[in-house]
Chains A and B, each alone.
Chain A
Amino acid sequence: MPGTLFEKLWDAHVVRQPEDQPTLLYIDLHLVHEVTSPQAFEGLRVANRRVRRPDLTVATADHNVPTTDRSLPIADPIGAKQIDTLRQNCVDFGIQLFDINSPEQGIVHVIGPELGLTQPGLTIVCGDSHTSTHGAFGTLAFGIGTSEVEHVLATQCLPQNKPRTMLVEVSGALPEGVTAKDLALGIIGRIGTAGGTGHVIEYAGEAVRGLSMEGRMTLCNMSIEAGARAGMIAPDETTFAYLQGRRFAPKGAAWTEALAYWQTLRSDSDAHFDRTIRLDATTLEPHVTWGTSPGMVVPVTGCVPDPAASVSDADRRASERALEYMALTPLTKIQDIQIDRVFIGSCTNARIEDLRAAARVVKGYRTRSSVSAMVVPGSQAVKRAAEAEGLDRIFRDSGFEWREAGCSMCLGMNADILQPGERCASTSNRNFEGRQGRGGRTHLVSPMMAAAAAITGHFTDVREWEFK
């Protein structure tokens, strides 16, 4: 029977399939971080349980770490205690930790792929909703809560009900200046933030094939913003070229064997999807969110919508609330919106290609004097690579701050937050009320769009940019 990529991965990981009960699914890789794991480890201790497969478990500190000088002690005692707790748990349970001063430290969804831990065909979970990122490699990867983190630590398995499948097929090639981020926002704008609920999305089509691994990760990363359980892309030559030679990638004969398996990981041409969405990449524009949900998004050439034109009463009230929070009036041109802050970072857009794209825009310009801008590389490895290429100089010379790796202002658990009323062009994934700091106003954009806004002080169509 023909199957989808998702079904093949699912079937390959069934440990047990009792009738009228969830499937017991095997988990190949469990990524752990400081914020959603302490209560899980505590649960193991209380029940006198061990970690079943510490060798399939990898930890890092990313969510609350400071992005300033790492040689200094952490100023926030509660944050510091959480990191110390992770350290102790990793020692007690024998788990490999890429600690705050490790050269491999970084956002968990950046370092997994970069270390070659993320490989096609695996099931990967993490106590973080953006685990969908790893689907870019043809893995089944999804976010879980802390009770499920404890479950995987104890058993290396998870009872799961089988999600439905959705195909998002994107024809044509993305125009210059239109990126994977714009594609992700365009899809969410089309299907809504609950459009993918209960589904695993497979992204396919010419535009998806044409994306680099970094672009594919950006696209899969935001699957959760469409409500989906996971996002995935069938592995191909781009995937294999990215992985070859990475630290944990198979070597020698194991590589050849793995490759032969990975090449079978694709949906059959006549596979059935529960739902199919088709988009034309050639008509896509750079996108900017205007509200407090990622689905509240329009092209950069557009205007803030008028709530009066909403399709339902609930939508109208949600739009009115969002506009009030965002201090925007209906029909304002997106390019007339002035910004105060720029954040280039997060598991969505802080990989080397993202920083290259932003630096290309910034090069030879100065940030607007009213704008405070920062770059937070996704990992220490991304930071080193960027510095080797001189990207840090480009950013610094133009007025950007250049920071240490972590989640930073994507969620503002550390000191990197917006002040009340500040408006930010951000390459992160969520524009929720207060996400980047209480009273802060977030507009989600691509790295190029964020860079352009830092220079002009307002949203600017990067397709018309004069590169220097």
Chain B
Amino acid sequence: MKPFRTHTGMVVPLDRANVDTDQIIPKQFLKRIERTGFGEFLFYDWRFEPSGELKLSFGLNQPRYRGASILVTGKNFGCGSSREHAPWALADFGFRAIIAPSFADIFANNCMKNGLLPVTLAEEVVAAIIEQALSNETYELTVDLEARTVTDGRGMSAGFVIDDFQRNCLIEGLDDIGLTMLHESDIAAYEAKRAGRIL
């Protein structure tokens, strides 16, 4: 996994609550058997007209946000389907961090497995960031996972909470399957103890 320590990048706002994973990556793109190449289909129905033309009215498509790598959005982001294609699409599109007042559980887990950092900040802080990103061209933030802070170099600084273990996995870019496999003897002992109770 790609490690995440600190990242500075341009912010694009998506001021909507309850953005579900069906919006992030619609079902017609879930038939692919690869992990890569989902970025071009990100927010497909919002970014493209039914004819396939780019919708310039949609924020993410506006030239001023080209190259943005931090998405700032509303509460309960990533609700619905467990499809990991959603963080794959966001990461492939170029996002490194998502800032929101809250995230759906499975989505947040999926992000962490892909070096994409979900940052939970208070609703009013998120609202202020969205306001800044709308009114300032090229509004940038620095997300520092080691310090657990989000700063804009203009005086805004907000701390965030993240589970220590997940933080370390992200910072080190660890393969957590490999970590679990180190405990093979514990797993085997558990299986021996529970033999007969399992299928």
Contacts and interface: CB of A to CB of B under 8 A. Distances in A.
A277 interface: no
B75 to A, nearest CB: 7
B176 A82 contact: no
Most buried by A among B22, B106, B181, B187: B106
B105 A197 contact: yes
A39 B34 contact: yes
A151 B177 contact: yes
A36 B177 contact: no
Given A16-B183, A154-B181, A318 B106 contact: no
Given A148-B109, A194-B76, A314-B17, A155 B187 contact: yes
Contacts of B23: 432-434
B76 A193 contact: yes
Contact of B187 (A81, A157, A321, A412): A157
Contacts of B152: none
Contacts of A42: 33-35
Contacts of A290: none
B63 interface: no
B92 interface: no
A47 B178 CA distance: 10
Given A47-B177, A227-B104, A147 B82 contact: no
Contact of B106 (A64, A121, A129, A161): A129
A15 B190 contact: yes
Interface stretch (B64-72, B132-140, B142-150, B191-199): B191-199
Interface residues of A, number: 74
Interface stretch (A2-10, A19-27, A379-387): A19-27
Given A85-B33, A143-B82, A434 B180 contact: no
Nearest to B34: A39
Contacts of A317: 15-16
B74 to A, nearest CB: 6
A388 interface: no
A439 interface: yes
A254 to B, nearest CB: 8
Dominant secondary structure of chain A at its interface with chain B: loop
B80 A129 contact: yes
A36 B83 contact: yes
Nearest to B15: A317
Contacts of A56: 198-199
Contact of A430 (B22, B110, B177): B22
A56 B197 CA distance: 12
B154 interface: no
Interface in B46-88: 50, 74-76, 79-84, 87
Contact of A155 (B32, B102, B109, B177): B177
B2 interface: no
A76 B186 CA distance: 45
A433 B45 contact: yes
A420 B50 contact: yes
Contacts of B79: 193-194, 227
Nearest to B110: A145
A427 interface: no
B32 A78 contact: yes
A318 B187 contact: no
B25 to A, nearest CB: 11
A108 to B, nearest CB: 12
Interface in B70-122: 74-76, 79-84, 87, 102, 104-106, 109-110, 113-114
Interface string A299-323: 0000000000000001101100100
Interface string A310-339: 000011011001000000000000000000
B186 A434 contact: no
A110 interface: no
Interface in B161-176: 163-165, 175-176
A194 B75 contact: yes
A26 B190 contact: yes
Nearest to A413: B27
A439 to B, nearest CB: 7
Nearest to A433: B23
A438 interface: yes
A42 B109 CA distance: 20
A128 B82 contact: yes
Given A56-B198, A127-B82, A434-B23, A15 B106 contact: no
Nearest to A254: B196
Nearest to B178: A47
A92 to B, nearest CB: 14
B163 A55 contact: no
Contact of B20 (A16, A79, A314, A430): A430
A229 B27 CA distance: 22
B26 interface: yes
B33 A82 contact: yes
Contacts of B187: 15, 24, 26, 52, 155-157
A151 B113 CA distance: 11
Contacts of A76: 31
Contacts of A128: 81-82
A462 B12 CA distance: 47
25 contacts: A15-B187, A20-B164, A21-B165, A35-B83, A36-B84, A39-B33, A39-B34, A49-B177, A55-B199, A129-B81, A129-B106, A145-B83, A146-B35, A147-B113, A148-B110, A154-B180, A157-B183, A157-B187, A315-B17, A413-B30, A413-B31, A420-B50, A430-B20, A430-B81, A438-B26
Across the A-B interface, the 10 shortest Cβ-Cβ residue pairs: A147-B113, A145-B110, A38-B33, A145-B84, A146-B84, A143-B82, A194-B76, A129-B82, A78-B31, A15-B190
Interface of B: 15-18, 20, 22-23, 26-28, 30-35, 45, 50, 74-76, 79-84, 87, 102, 104-106, 109-110, 113-114, 163-165, 175-177, 179-181, 183, 186-187, 190-191, 194, 197-199
Given A35-B30, A193-B76, A434-B45, 10 more contacts: A15-B187, A24-B186, A128-B82, A155-B187, A161-B163, A197-B104, A224-B80, A314-B75, A315-B17, A411-B27
